[in-house]
Amino acid sequence: MDTSEIMTRLRVKYANEKEYLQAVQEVLETIEDVYNRHPEFEEARIIERLVEPDRIFTFKVTWVDDNGDIQTNTGYRVQFNSAIGPYKGGLRFHPSVNLSILKFLGFEQIFKNALTTLPMGGGKGGSDFNPKGKSDAEIMRFCQAFMLELWRNIGPDTDVPAGDVGVGGREIGYLFGMYKKLAREHTGVLTGKGMTWGGSLIRPEATGFGAVYFVQHMLHLQGKDIKGRNVAISGFGNVAWGAATKATQLGAHVIAISGPDGVIYNPEGMNDEKLAYMLELRSSNNDVVAPFAEKFPDAVFYPGKKAWSIKCDIAMPCAYQNELTGEDAAELLANGTWCCAEVSNMGCTPEAIAAFQKARILFAPGKAVNAGGVATSGLEMTQNAMHISWSAEEVDRKLHEIMSNIHKSCVQYGTQPDGYVNYLKGANVAGFMKVATAMLEQGVI
């Protein structure tokens, strides 16, 4: 494989898809040497086949807002790769959503899902619908209109969507209700469901909890522990909440959370009341973090600032792609940060990753760190298929085991001769080897 040749071709073909190109480049660069040791992959043109989604659905979503005005949005589902199982991946509702973003997310999802060791292929979907400021009734009507189109293309053994940015338990409820009405079946076609109708305990917490379990493994390998460390987290959604909750439970001080409006500096760390308020802020649909400082006088709001301006030991981006830039990385490194665990998908720019790796600090990519979310979705699918539900302890134990195994795979494939663990390489190679082998065994399809 010649990465630059493949990238040149993709840059011409998909000139406007910068996030997709970024995600592909990152994977190809890190797997190139392993790939080139397997001529059978090259012969089967695995890379050329892997970078193209199996299929993409694009559809119009029309709905009526509370003023009686008609609104039109675009809906998508990218079914990227089903070599190891049904397509699996979230739905994102955000005004920035376009094909480039969904293709990058779907591509990442292939490797992430492979890392979980569960049988799930990669997919992603969503809409440019903006939930900000929408009423509950508007959210419901939008979700219903979205599912009216999507339902024919998904199924419990075909493609199983879940939540992502802008899609949480409430949205999954409305989406599921409409699917059930249309398909006339109550199956595990979506994950992240409510606890009384097929959802799995621990799924809401799983992405953030799993991320902190992963960080603990990284730290333990270095003879360190998260207890007593200062952690900066970006975002205040479900994932940030889960990470802040588990980090706090394990004795870390979560000293920063942030939103699009600025950062909250929270020197005394989190407590139950503050953690509960994070969820309240998220469900207000306002996308601002400033009210946190009005409610808790020990917290300070810095408008327009990022979480990375706060001095911390451990940085955990939990918001969007490319939210931590090369400049942010330089600021963190100057402040003595020694671990960055990406929780958002592709949360760090290539410049930021290069800076962390050059400084030889601990860095792990989203597809390993945040895989606990989709892994627990996989556990939800298993419970649905068996028509049973496991206890919270059982699911948490399995989540622990999965995160521990993902960490082991990263170390196995990513340890360099000098002992530095390149978690990015480890995650990409481990995920790739599994998918490539499955594709090879299934022939040219």
**Residue 230, C-beta contacts closer than 8 angstroms, at least 6 positions apart:** 252, 253, 255, 311, 312, 313, 314
- The terminus-to-terminus CA distance of the chain in angstroms comes to 21
The CA distance from 235 to 14, in Å, is: 30
The CA distance from 324 to 270, in Å, is: 23
**Sequential DSSP letters for 336-382:** T--EEE--STT-B-HHHHHHHHHTT-EEE-HHHHTHHHHHHHHHHHH
- H-state helical runs in 158-233: 169-183, 203-221
Q: Decide whether 162 or 293 has the Cβ nearer to ligand 2IT.
A: 162
The CA distance from 353 to 332, in Å, is: 12
Residue 90 beta carbon to ligand 2IT: minimum distance, rounded to whole angstroms: 3
Q: Decide whether 244 or 371 has the Cβ nearer to ligand 2IT.
A: 371
Local structure of 275: helix, strand or coil: helix
Q: Decide whether 176 or 301 has the Cβ nearer to ligand 2IT.
A: 176
224 part of the active site: no
The CA distance from 324 to 327, in Å, is: 8
Residue 362 beta carbon to ligand 2IT: minimum distance, rounded to whole angstroms: 22
The CA distance from 263 to 234, in Å, is: 8
Give the type of residue at 427: A
Phi, psi angles (nearest 5°) of residue 290: -50, -40
Q: Decide whether 75 or 90 has the Cβ nearer to ligand 2IT.
A: 90
Binding footprint of ligand 2IT on the chain (CB under 6 A): 88-90, 112, 162, 164, 191, 345, 373-374, 377
Residue 184 beta carbon to ligand 2IT: minimum distance, rounded to whole angstroms: 24
Candidates 88, 103, 112, 124; catalytic one: 124
**Pick from 278, 226, 272: which is nearest to 253 by CA?**
226
Residue 5 beta carbon to ligand 2IT: minimum distance, rounded to whole angstroms: 30
Residue 21 beta carbon to ligand 2IT: minimum distance, rounded to whole angstroms: 19
Q: Decide whether 164 or 328 has the Cβ nearer to ligand 2IT.
A: 164
CA angle (34, 37, 40) in 5-degree steps = 110
Q: Decide whether 140 or 369 has the Cβ nearer to ligand 2IT.
A: 369
Catalytic machinery residues = 124
